[in-house]
Structure 1
C-alpha cells in the first residue's frame, strides 16, 4: 500500500508536524489544499506545514538548512541540484523506499538520473517540464503543411519551406544551449563525462559536433540572433508578432504569446521536438523538481510517507491535471489525454535527459562557455576548434576546488 493511505508507521497519538519546503508557484493553492485535506484525514496524527521559498538564492539556503539542526523534513529542489546537495552528505538515502514503494524503474530518466548519486537515490522525482515546438497553425496551413513533422529531416524540409514570403520558418536564437543539448544527445554525444572521478567537457567529439551541425542548419531557416539566448529578446514576444512559424519552448510560453497577441489565441499548435526517426521523439532537456529528505529531518518516517504520497500515482495524476506538468512516470502520460500541449511535452519527456550529474555543474552555467561556442560556430568559425575551447573551460569549471 502506498504511503498516505493510513496512519504513518511509528506515529502515536500525539500530533506530528511535517515541515515541507516548496518552491514559490510550483503548485496551486487548489492542489495543496486538496492534498493536505486528504492526507491529514488519512493520517489524523500528522499535520503538514508548508513554507514557500524563492528560487533566487535557494542553493545557499538549502545548503545551510542541511547543515543545521533545524532542517525541514521535506524539500522541493530543482532536479539538477540534487548532486550539489548530496555532496554535503546531508541527504537521506531513499533507495529502499524508491524501489519498494514507488516503482523507480518507470521514472522519467531526466528526473531520476539527477537524483541518483553513486547508485543511491537521494532525489525522488516529482514533476517535469520540457521544451516542445510551438507552431503557428495558420502559417503551416498557408505553406501546405498538413501535419507536424516527426523526423529531423522532415523538420528541416518544412522549416525551409516555411521560410519564404516574409515568414521565418523558425526563430531559434544562437545560444539556446538547452535545445543544443538535445541534439547532441540524439547523436550519442554528451556535454561532459566522468572518468575515474574526474569530469571533462566533450563538445569536441564527433557525435557532439554532429548535434551542433544540425542546430546550425535548423537555425538558418529563420532570423534568430547568433550572439544571444532565447531571452534576449524574449522569444515568446518575438513569436507573438505573427510572422514566425515555430519556436522551441516550454508550453507555458503559449500563454505569454497569446497575452502579447490575442489574435493568435486558438491558432497555436504543439508537437514534440522531432527525432532522427519517426519511431520516437528527439531527446530534450528535462527540467522539473525532485523531493529530498534531509539527513537531519526530525520526522524521518513521516517525511518519507509524505514524499511517497506526493510521488505516487494518485497525486501525480492530480498534479499533472491541475498544473499541466508531466507526471514522473511515462506510464501515467495517459492522464494528459486531450491536452495537446502537455501531451506533446510528455512524449518528449520520455526521452528527456538532464545536465551532467556533477555537483559543480552550476559553476559551468555561471559563466556558460557553451553559449560563446555556439555563437562562434554560427558565425563561421571552425567548429572543432571552438568546441575544444569550450571543453577546456567546462573541464576547468568541473574540477574539484
Structure 2
C-alpha cells in the first residue's frame, strides 16, 4: 500500500469514532533546562471510544511518572484516533520529522528503509527477554527485531447459550460447544432449523477480512506462510478450507442473509449482541458489548478441521523507535513502558492482553474486572501465530485479501483461483 498506509488496525479494537488529537507535554520538573534537556516526541493511537476514556490519560500519567525519575528528559505525547495515526506518522517521516517513538499498526516498511533502531540497541536485556516469544518473533525482519508489540489479542468462538439451548444444542443440560468443523456445521443447521437469522456469522468484508481468513486457515492446518515464512496462501490445505466454507457453510445457507464478502466485523458483533447470531469468531471487545446487552454467551477455541489442536490467531499493535539520536533516552522510556505495572494498567483498561511474560503472569493472577473471561483469551496467546507483519509486503497483501477473499465463498466462486491470484501477487511483492 506504500506510504499512504490506510488505517491498519491489527487488533480491530480501537475506536473509530474518536477523532481526538491530544498532546501531553511534561517538562522535567523544571530542575534541568537548556542544552542538557532532551525532548522525546511520542505518537500513540487512541484506544478509547470517547474523550472520557481516551488513551491520552494513560500516557499523561505514564510520562509524568517517568519524568519524575528522569528530570533531564521531557516527554511529548500526541494521541490520535486510529483513523489518522498511521498517516500522521507517515507524513512526519516523509517531512524528515519522524517522532522518537510511534505506537501504530505496522513497522516493517520503516524497518526495511533503515529508519528504526533494533530492540537490542534500545532495551535492557530483561525488557527484551520479557516479550512473549510469538510476539517477539512477529516483530522481526530477517531475524532482527525492530517492532515491539504494544498490546495483543487472540480470537475465540463465541456462541449464544440461549439460542443453543432453544435449538437443542446441549449436552448434560448445558449448551454444547463444537470442536470440529463437522460439529460446527451440525450446530449451524440446528440453529437454522430454529429460525436463527444467522447461524454462523462469517465477516469477510473489508473491515477485517484478513483476520477472519487467517483464523480459518490456521484451523484448517494451513496459514498465510509456510515453515520457511514464505507466502503459502494457495496451499492445498487453504484451498480445502475455503471449499468447506463455500460448500458446507455458505452453500447451505448457514451464514445468514448478508453475503460474507459484504459483512463487516462490527456489523456481525452488533447482530450477535441483538441475539440474531448463533456463533461467530470474536475478540475481547465483544465481551463488554455482549454483556451490556444481556447476552448469555460461551467462548471456546475455534473448531478445527479434525478437532486436533491448531495454533490460534494472535494479533498485535506495534511500538517502534526512529533513529533520532535519542537512543539512550528512548530506551529508558521504553523500559519503563514495558514494566508489568504499566503494561497491565493499559491492557486492563481496554480489555486487551499484555505482550510480556511479566504482564501475562500479573494478568493471569488477577481476579478483578473482566479478568476471568480474559484468561480464556490469555491462555491462547503464548502458542498463537500472528500476521506476517515483518514483511514489508504484508499491508498490500492484507488489502488484496480484504478486496477479494469474499469471492472465494460466493456461489460459483473458485477458492483455488482466488487464493492463487492473491498468492501470486504476494510472492511478486515479497523480496527474498
Q: Is the TM-score greater than 0.5?
A: yes
Work out the CA distance in 2 between the residues paired with 1:354 and 1:399.
14
C-alpha distance 62-68 of structure 1, shift in aligned 2 (>3 A): same
> Is the 1:369–1:393 contact (alpha carbons within 8 Å) kept by the matching residues of 2?
no
Decide whether aligned partners of structure 1 residues 311 and 237 sit closer, same or farther in structure 2, where only a CA change above 3 A counts.
Answer: same
Could you tell me which residue of structure 2 aligns to residue 19 of structure 1? 41
Q: Deviations over 1:41-81 (max 9, x none)?
A: 33333332211134345445424434655432211121xx2
Partner of 1:202: 232
Q: Structure 2 residue aligned with 1:151, among 163, 169, 179? A: 179
| Mapped partners of 2:265, 2:189: distance in 1 | 24
Q: Tell me the residue number matched to 1:100.
A: 125
Alignment counterpart, residue 276 of structure 2, candidates 219, 243, 247: 243
| 8 Å Cα contact 1:163-1:222 kept in structure 2 | no
Q: How far, CA to CA, are the matches of 2:126 and 2:299 in structure 1? A: 34
Residue in 1 aligned with 2:165? 141
Q: 1:60 to 1:321 in 2, by over 3 A?
A: closer
Matched, 1:164 2:193: yes
Equivalent residues in 2 for 1:229-378, closer than 5 Å: 229-231=262-264, 234-256=267-289, 264-265=293-294, 267-275=296-304, 280=309, 282-286=311-315, 288-296=316-324, 298-329=325-356, 331-332=360-361, 333-335=363-365, 337=367, 339-350=371-382, 351-355=384-388, 357-366=390-399, 368-369=400-401, 371-378=403-410
> 1: CA distance between counterparts of 2:345 and 2:230?
41
Of the three residues 107, 129, 141, the one matched with 1:82 is: 107
**Aligned 1:383-394 pairs, distance under 5 A:** 383-394=415-426
The whole-number CA distance in structure 1 between the counterparts of 2:176 and 2:151 is: 26
Q: Secondary structure at the match of 2:63?
A: helix
Q: Map 1:206-221 onto structure 2 (within 5 A).
A: 206-216=236-246, 217-219=248-250, 220=252, 221=254
Q: Which residue of 1 aligns with 2:140?
A: 116
Structure 1 residue 317, shift from structure 2 partner = 1.9
Q: C-alpha offsets along residues 297-350 of structure 1, whole Å, 9 cap, x if unaligned?
A: x42211111111212322112222222111003643505555354333323333
C-alpha offsets along residues 159-194 of structure 1, whole Å, 9 cap, x if unaligned? 333332111432223553422212223444232569
Q: Secondary structure at the match of 1:102?
A: helix
Give the total of aligned pairs: 377
**Does structure 1 conserve the Cα–Cα contact (< 8 Å) formed by 2:46 and 2:56?**
no
Q: RMSD over aligned Cα, in angstroms?
A: 3.5
CA contact (8 A) 2:269 2:286 kept: yes
**Runs of 5+ consecutive residues of structure 1 not aligned to the other structure:** 1-7
Structure 2, unaligned runs of 5 or more: 1-27, 49-53
- The structure with higher relative contact order (CA 8 Å, sep 6+) is 1
SS state at 2:193 partner: coil
**What is the CA–CA distance in structure 2 between the aligned matches of 1:289 and 1:281, rounded to whole Å?**
23
Are residues 173 and 56 of structure 1, via their aligned partners in 2, closer, same or farther at CA, if it must alter by over 3 Å? closer
Task: Find the aligned partners of 1:214 and 1:156 in 2 and give their Cα distance.
Answer: 10
State which of 53, 56, 80 in structure 1 corresponds to 2:80.
53
Report the alpha carbon displacement of residue 37 of structure 1 after superposing the two structures with TM. Answer: 3.5
Compute the displacement of 1:96 (Å). 5.1
Conserved in 1, the CA contact under 8 Å of 2:284 and 2:352?
Answer: no
Would the aligned equivalents of 2:188 and 2:200 in 1 still touch at CA under 8 Å? yes
- Assess, with a 3 A threshold, how the Cα gap between structure 1 residues 279 and 185 changes in structure 2: closer, same or farther: closer
